[in-house]
Structures are given as structure tokens and as C-alpha cells.
Amino acid sequence: MATFLYKIGRLAFRRRHFVALIWVALLTLAGVGAASAPAAGNSSFSIPGTEAQKAFDLLEQRFPGMSADGATARVVFKAPSGEKMTGKANKATVRETVKELRSGSEVTSVADPYTAHAVSKDGTIAYASVRYKVSGMELQDASRDALKAAAQDARDAGLTVEVGGDALTAAPETGSSEIIGIAVAAVVLVITFGSLLAAGFPLLTALIGVGIGVSTITALASALDLGTTTSTLASMIGLAVGIDYALFIVSRYRSELAEGREREEAAGRAVGTAGSAVVFAGLTVLIALVGLSVVNIPMLTKMGVAAAGTVAIAVLIALTLIPALLGYAGRRIKPTGEKSRLLGGGRKAKAKAGEPGGHGSHGKQNRPNMGTRWASFVVRRPVAVLLLGVIGLGAAAVPAASLELGLPDDGAQPTSTTQRRAYDLLSEGFGPGFNGPLMVVVDAKDSAHPKAAFTEVGDEIKGLKDVVTVTPAVPNKAGDTATITVVPHSKPSSATTEDLVHAIRGKGADITSATDAKVLVTGSTAMNIDVSQRLNDALLPYLALVVGLAFLLLIVVFRSVLVPLKAALGFLLSVMAALGAVVAVFQWGWLSGLMNVEQTGPVMSMMPIFMVGVVFGLAMDYEVFLVTRMREAYVHGEKPSQAVVTGFRHGARVVTAAAVIMIAVFSGFIGSSESMIKMIGFGLAVAVFFDAFIVRMAIVPAVLALLGRRAWWLPRWLDRALPNVDVEGEGLRTAGDRHADPDGERELVRA
């Protein structure tokens, strides 16, 4: 592996014009494809196999044109103080609004509040229900604009008007947060490299990779039913790993220059060593993202595969375009220890005398860097550092035991949004459960007495706890299927409402045995419950798949059993601690004012599996980059404890910079007004902090120091069975000398 990548690095450095032309052509091709592709809306949403989805599919068959899974909106009106919605002027305004809403091209029906009995008992609040042909994620912007315009016209007439429902669902704006992340990354890179040019390369290549990935997703969005959320995740992950991968190769290149190697040779060795780590780190991220398909939620699968494609592009760019750009830069890229003149450079670091390993360790005035000092401390006090790290993360993980999962509704929106104000008005006028009605579908096609079955279902539901209203059954034309609307007493996201859904389904089993009629519960609230259950059920299989495959991959990389095991256990510890922090802030309300969390409640059900997928890939990045340097030193003859120090001397500064960049990218999303985006940003930022600075920087060296040579133990039979990928670049110790002549590449046959 190292020798093969070494040749790629040298070739890209020497043929830089050709390499740059290829990437520019790919970026142009992707851009043209995105510009000429038909516009695509948000991805359609379905959860195959769930009861709520089966009910939606049944309604599509038995109620043609009903659009059971179509978007809905509730336009809520409140009369001015001292007036009633039944007043003549207010009634005229509402009916004019209803007429305006019915003119929409995607609207299937609009219920007049005065004929649908949608006026509160005190007469101060009323609502008009709007149903659309397509789901909220597929709704055109023109339909949303028309909905907002109709509400504004009613406001201008003197009413308080707010709009709730999934018709206003739209992709969150994330451009400003990405800009913040890029700005912080630029500052960190300049500090790390001491050079504006060297700092610019990771940013430039990451943006090119994200540009190609997102443009390709846009070009294929219509054909593959990819939504805007797909490109958002791809850009977030692609930007973060793209900067990190390029950062590691540029840093290694400067280290090779500091050892006195020629620039082409340094580029080859940088790609051969750090590039090998990039390949395997990228593979762990790919495994984590593609593994999201085991959840069997099509939208989540597409998001994972698309993001994985962007990560693959980031790996290829780091291996080819970075050495090409280094060739263009020439002597303007300084060796490690030198700064550019613009940043006060000109002083060359002096090599430390007598350091073991012969790897070109440099430092200012023979002074060990911070990574060396920290690793030396950990090696001297491994037990204390290990206990402190494990106990600290364990304490942070305690709140995770109280984790409650669910999908947020409009009640979790900020009070500044119209959705939240509509939610509050409906709760005020009709009760909290009115915001999440359940739709019960009765399939009586196989029943001898369908009408009796419809009546029995309604009567059974009325006898359940937490039920406020049960509407009469509404049959289809054939009379073999009916819908019943159930309004709970509790709010949609509460555990009580979830219990009611399960209770109705439990009664349905008894009704089926008695009448041969099937009872299905659906609606947005039931769909959210089913999605949460699907995600909960998939978490352990997904975790086993991802950790298992990555464990096997890391055995090949490190040629050790205990190092991959330690990596996986450390990751689980950091993820549990991060989940504990999320529960403390978003469920318990700790520091909620600082994080601007207006409404506490269940943690988004997608959060644990999403965090496992993304953070696992990123955590293994740091593991691979840091520990491969340690193994490299160990393979080259250093003692285990000294190899740990050497690994930190070369890698700690770069891994720290990479983690800070990653945290900055994710933290930018904490400022989002969307509670889900805020939660994802906070959770990922905290998880990266825990994993990079506590697990990888403290627990890992402490464990390796305690294990000593046993850390690199591998059974002989397994050693013979595993392929030798040579991530440490052992083959380059002799191969490099044969490459004084650029045409000598064919002499290298070992890979």
C-alpha cells in the first residue's frame, strides 16, 4: 500500500499539470450537470414495513385522490380582544382566506371552520385545515408562498393568524454556519502551519471536493429522488474530512522536507505514509455512512451513500491533487519548524541531537513540543490518566440512562416561528392533543359486517385513557374501508400519546379476531412513533455492523488485536458521554439558556444512530492518524513507551488542529433556529471533543503505555493470513533510495 501510494504521490507531483486539469475538468463537468439538471424538490419520505406506512398505502388504494400522506396545514385565526370569530366581519375575512387557499394548484381540500365545527367553545379561536396532493417534503415553494400570503392578508384585516403543519417544512439554511466553520478552519491551519499558502491548500482542496460531490448530487437529484437534506449532510461531512485529510498529508510533507529530502521524494513519502492512513481512515467513514442502509429508511440510506461518495472524493483529492499543488508551490512551502516570511519566518528550526528513531524530529531550540511533553507525562502516569479519563467520561454518560427518544413536532419550534405560535393557539383553544390527531384506518374488506366493525372500533377507542374526541367513521365509496380521527388529551410528542397508539393497536388485534376487520393507526404522530421505533430497533445491529467491520479493518492496519479493540471501546465511551451531554441540555434543560434551547423534550430519535455513524468514522480518523505514527516508530525499532511519545511528537499538533476544525464546523450549527439542527451540531461537536481530546489524546496513550509490547501482539496464524498493507511505510526505507532517477518507478514491485 505505502509503496503504491508513494508512486502515486511522486507521479502527481511530477505530472501536476495533468492532475490539476483532470480535477478542474471533473469540477466543471459536475457544475454543468448540476446547472442543466431539472429542478428537484425535497426527497419523498416513506418508511417501508411500518404500520403507519401500510395504512397510508391502503388509503391510497381505497380512497383514490385522497393523498393520505399529503402535506397538511392549519391556518389558525384568533379574534381581536373582546370579539368572537363568529362575528360577521371576522367570518367574512376567514371565508375570503379559505377561498384564496383553495386556488392553489397543489391543494386538494380546504375545510371551512364554520362548516367543519372548527371553532373553539369560547368562540375566540378557529382554524382552517388545508390538505395538499404531495408530502411536505415535496411541496413546491410556490404553494408555501401562497399559504403565507393568504395568512398575511387575514392579518392585514385585523386577525391574529398563524400557520402550523408540515406544509411549511423546508430545508434549513446552513450557509452561514459553514462560513463560520471555514473561517475557524483557516485560522487554525495558519497557526498550525505558520504559512498562508500551506494553510490554503487543505481549504482549497476540501472546497473542490465538496463542490464536485454536491454538484453531482444536484445533477442526480431528480433521477434518484435526492433531497436538499442529502446535499447538506454531504457538504458538512465532506468539508470536515476533506480539510482533515489534506491537513495530514501537507503536514507529513513538511516533516519530510525537514529531514532534508528533495521535494518530489518528500511528496511521495507523504502520500505513501500519511496517505495510507488517509485511505484507511476514509474507509472507516465509508463503512459508517453506507451502513446507515441497515436502518431501512430510504431517505437516510440515500443521505449516507451520497455523503460517502463525497468522502471518497475527498480521499482521492488528498492523494492526487495535494501533491500536485505542492509541486506548484515549490520552495514556498517550508519544512516543519519554518514559517513563511509573511508570518515572521526565516528562522529555521534546529534538529534535536540524539533523538531515537531517526525521523527528523525538530523543535525550536531543542525544546520538546507540547505533544511530546504531554505524552511523556501520560507514559509516566498511565494509571492516573486512564482512571481520570474513564471516570470523567463515565460521569458525563450518566444522563444517557434517562434518554427518551422521539421526533420533534411544532411544539419544539422557537416561539418566534409561526408554527410554534399556531401550535400554542390550538392548544389554548382545543387542548394540546389537538396538535397531533391520530388517524385510525379500519380495513373491513374481509368482514361480513363492515358497518358494525366500524362502530365497534369507535366504541372501543372511546373507552381508552387519554382520548378526548373520536369522530364517526368515514367510509369510502365501496364501504369496505373507513377512517376515524382520534384526538388525544396529551401533546403529540408525549409518552402518553405513544402509549395510546400502542393501546389502539392492541385493541385492533382483538377486533380483528372478532370481526375480521384490520385496524391500523397512522397520521404524522403515529408515523413519528413508528420511525422512532425503527431507529431504536436498528441501533444495535448498525453498531455491531459498523464496529465489527471497522474492527477487522483496523486489525489489518495495525496488525494488532488489542489496539483495534481499545479503539472501539474508546469510541463507545465517547459516544455515550456525548449522548449524556445531549440529554442534559436538550432533555433536562441544563445550560439551555446558553444554548438558546427554548423547549426541552425527547431527544430526536435519529440522533443516536446518526451520531454513531458520523462520529465513529471521524473518531477512527484520529485513531488511525495518531496510532499509525506510533506503530511506525515501533516498527522502526523504538521501545513501546518511546514510540508513544514519538507518535505524539509528530501527530498531536496535527490531530489537535483537525479536531478543532471539526468542532468548529459542527458548532456552527448550534446557532440554528431549527431544534434538530441545533441538537445535531451540539451532539457532534461534543462527541468530537470527547473522542479527540480525552479518548485519543489521554486514554489511548495511557492504555498503550500499560500494555507495552502486548499492544502490538498478533497471533502467528492471523499474521500469516492478513495481507501486508504496509501503512507505516517500511518498504519506503529502501525503496526511496532507488528513486533518485524519476524513471526508476518500474523497479518498485513491492506494494
Instruction: Tell me what pLDDT residue 274 has.
Output: 82
Q: What is the pLDDT of residues 313-355, one digit of tens each?
A: 999 999 999 999 999 988 888 787 665 554 445 444 444 433 4
Q: Which amino acid is at 512?
A: T
Comparing CA positions, the residue from 425, 574, 604, 441 lying closest to residue 511 is 441
Alpha-helix runs per DSSP H in 356-494: 370-380, 382-397, 418-430, 450-462
DSSP one-letter string for 596-634 = T-----PEETTHHHHHHHHHHHHHHHHHHHHHHHHHHHH
Query: Could you give the CA distance from residue 277 to residue 632 in angstroms, rounded to a whole number?
Result: 11
- Collapsing DSSP to helix, strand or coil, 194 comes out as coil
Q: What is the pLDDT of residue 395?
A: 94
CA distance 545 to 673: 34
Distance, in Å, from the CA atom of 363 to the CA atom of 344, rounded to the nearest integer, reads 17
CA gyration radius, the chain: 30
**Pairing state of beta strands 467-470 and 481-488?**
antiparallel
Which residues have CB under 8 Å from 384's CB, separation 6+? none
Do 100 and 156 touch, CB atoms closer than 8 A?
A: no
Work out the angle at residue 663's Cα, subtended by the Cα atoms of residues 659 and 667, and round it to the nearest 5 degrees: 175
What gap in Å lies between CA 135 and CA 340, rounded to an integer?
56
The H or E element that residue 126 is part of is strand 125-132
**660 burial type by CB count under 10 A (0-12 exposed, 13-18 middle, 19+ buried):** buried
Tell how strand 160-164 and strand 125-132 pair up. Answer: unpaired
pLDDT computed for residue 632 by the predictor? 77
pLDDT in tens, 493-504: 788 888 899 999
Below-70 pLDDT ranges, the chain:
39-46, 65-69, 136-137, 169-178, 181, 225, 227-229, 337-367, 408, 412, 598-599, 672-675, 726-751
| Predicted pLDDT of residue 367 | 66
Q: What is the pLDDT of residue 66?
A: 64
Rounded Cα–Cα distance for residues 643 and 357 (Å): 9
Degrees to nearest 5, angle at CA 84 with 78 and 89? 90
Q: Tell me which residue has cell 436538550.
A: 586
Could you give the CA distance from residue 678 to residue 346 in angstroms, rounded to a whole number? 44
Is the sign of the CA dihedral 494, 495, 500, 502 positive or negative? positive
What pLDDT was estimated at residue 738?
A: 43
Q: Say which DSSP state 363 is in.
A: E
DSSP 255-309: HHHHTT--HHHHHHHHHHHHHHHHHHHHHHHHHHHHGGGGG--HHHHHHHHHHHH
Task: List strand residue ranges (DSSP E) for 387-537, in order.
Answer: 405-406, 438-443, 467-470, 474-475, 481-488, 518-522
Q: What is the pLDDT of residue 471?
A: 85
Question: Sheet harboring 107-111: ordered strands across?
Answer: 107-111, 125-132, 72-78, 160-164
Q: Report d(CA 308, CA 297) in Å as an integer.
A: 17
Q: Hey, what amino acid is at 179? A: I
